[in-house]
Amino acid sequence: MAAKKIISEEQKATAEEQIRALRKEIDYNTRDYSIDFLIQQFRENEFYIPDEYQRQYIWNNADKNRFVESILLGLPIPLMFFSDTEDGRCEIIDGAQRTQAMEEFMSGDLILSDLKKLTSLNGFSYKDIPAYFRKKFDKTNMRIIVLSDDTTLEIRQEIFNRINTTGREAKPSEIRRGSFRGPFMDFLMECTKDDVFKDVCPISETMEKRYEQLELVIRFFAFLDHYQEFTHRVDSFLDGYIENTKSFFDKAAIKTEFDKMLQFVKTYFPYGFAKSERAKSTPRVRFEAISVGVALALREKPDLVPVSMDWLNSDDFKRHTTTHASNSLARVSGRILYVKEQLLRGLYNAGNFRYV
């Protein structure tokens, strides 16, 4: 526990002034919207989900059914966060998954299943619900915290960030995408859509919805120039990299290096970043080792043609790229430099390389 320090009256005055100033930036009111009104407004795009920092619709059927069952049971539903906008519409800051689940149910596209309490309703659609309780569902009020339309984008993103870091649902890559909006994040998202990247880097549909490609792209750029600065926490390392890079980056230069790395992997690695031909996912530590190791080798020898790729099946490579070997400077550097060394082996004296 940190030692208690003596706070001066001047420090207290400064703190009071800061709190007052920042509180004034957040103006909101509380509204109650019935579900039928909320969904009608959502369908008419009067209540909308902003693409810039919201997550995709990633609730599975169990999540949706549990939520609908909670409403039918009359259980309390957590607050949602909206924001008025200058065009008169409302932006959904937090509550997108719940809104989409209700719309899917009311449109008849969600058939209730695996309900834990209302077991008699399994197999029911919205229209099958007894009329009295269907009306009760429609008129259930959702309590919404609505920010005023002069709330800045920065504040809205901060609220999104804080909401999703105090729970367990959002992945760091999802939060990062919402918290660091701007040209650099736009560039990183462009990289995730690269055809070669998608070809050599298989990602499951579930992880794709949770922006796993973005996570991998950020790791490549962050580790490429800063792997020797890594300590232990990957999330804070990546956040720090984006914060320090977002205002000043040479898009053309780093995109060229990214493209050359991908093309090399496609040419010389039989399964790209995957472990096998039929793999549907890409292990993060394997991606880091190969992508950064390749890029570093190409920096040293741009026209590199590897003498052998047999090392991909070696016990040493497997040891370097197992999941448990991920979070330390020695191991991060070790796997990256191992790949670099193997690619350059035979072209230079292997004794010039050191890895751990």
What pLDDT does 326 receive? 55
Q: For 144, phi and psi rounded to 5 degrees?
A: -120, 130
**Residue 264 backbone phi and psi in degrees, to 5:** -65, -45
80-84 and 141-147: which strand pairing? parallel
Between 311 and 350, the higher pLDDT residue: 311
CA distance 12 to 7: 7
**Of the residues 165, 183, 214, which one is the last residue of a structural domain?**
165
Do 75 and 179 share a domain, yes or no? no
Residue 117 belongs to domain spanning: 27-165
Tell whether 212 and 342 lie within a shared domain. yes
Residue 15 burial class via C-beta count within 10 angstroms: exposed 0-12, middle 13-18, buried 19 and up: exposed
Statement to judge: residues 302 and 251 lie in one domain: yes
For 271-275, what is the mean pLDDT? 91
Q: Tokens 């367990």 — which residue?
A: 168
Distance CA 87, CA 45 (A): 12
Alpha helices by DSSP H, 171-250: 172-179, 183-192, 195-200, 205-209, 212-226, 234-245
Give me the chain's average pLDDT, please.
Answer: 84
Predicted pLDDT of residue 170: 56
Residues 34, 83, single domain; the answer is yes
Note whether residue 15 is domain-resident.
no
CA-to-CA distance for 105 and 112, rounded, in angstroms? 8
At 1-40, the pLDDT tens digits run 556 678 888 887 887 777 766 665 566 778 899 999 999 9
- Check residues 162 and 321 and name the one with the higher pLDDT: 321
Q: What is the pTM of this model?
A: 0.54
Instruction: Reply yes or no on whether the pLDDT at 324 is more than 60.
Output: no
In a domain, 35, yes or no: yes
Compute the distance between CA of residue 172 and CA of residue 169 in angstroms, rounded to an integer: 10
Helix axes 212-226, 284-300, angle to 10 degrees: 40
Q: Which bin fits 125, alpha (ψ -120 to 50), beta or left (φ > 0)?
A: beta
pLDDT at site 353 = 45
pLDDT at position 352 is 47
Q: What residue type is assigned to position 232 of the chain?
A: H
Q: Are residues 42 and 113 in the same domain?
A: yes
Sign of the C-alpha dihedral, residues 201, 215, 172, 154?
A: negative
221 and 144 belong to one structural domain = no
Average pLDDT over residues 182-189: 87
- Lowest average pLDDT, out of 115-129, 145-159, 316-330, goes to 145-159
Task: Note whether 147 and 187 are same-domain residues.
Answer: no
Shortest CA distance to 124 belongs to which of 72, 77, 76, 60?
72
Q: Is residue 273 part of a domain?
A: yes
Q: How confident is the model at residue 78 (pLDDT cuts 50, 70, 90)?
A: confident
Q: What pLDDT, on a 0 to 100 scale, did the predictor assign at position 168?
A: 45
